[in-house]
Structure 1
Amino acid sequence: MPTAQLIAPPARPAGARTVEPWGTLARVERGPDEADAPRSAESLLSDVARGDDSAFAVLYDTLGRGVFGTCLGVLRDPDHAAEVAQEVWVEVWRTAARFDAGRGSARTWTLTLAHRRAVDRVRAVQAQRDRDQRVLDGSAEREFDVVADEVESALEQVRVRDCLGILTPTQKQAVVLAYYGGRTYREVADELAAPLPTVKTRIRDGLIRLRDCLGVTS
Structure 2
Amino acid sequence: MSDREWLSRISDRELMQRIQLDDAEAFAVLYDRLAPRALRLARAICVDPDRACDATQDGFVSIWRGRAQYQAHTADVPAWVLSIVRHRALDSLRRNARHDRHRDQLDDAIDVVPSPDDVERTVVADADAQHLRTLLVDLPVAQREVIALAYFGQLSHTEISTLLTLPLGTVKGRMRLGMRRLREHLTA
Question: TM-score band, normalised by the shorter chain?
Answer: 0.3 to 0.5
The structure that is strand-richer by fraction is 1
**Higher Cα radius of gyration:** 1
For normalisation by structure 1, the TM-score amounts to 0.41
* TM norm structure 2: 0.48
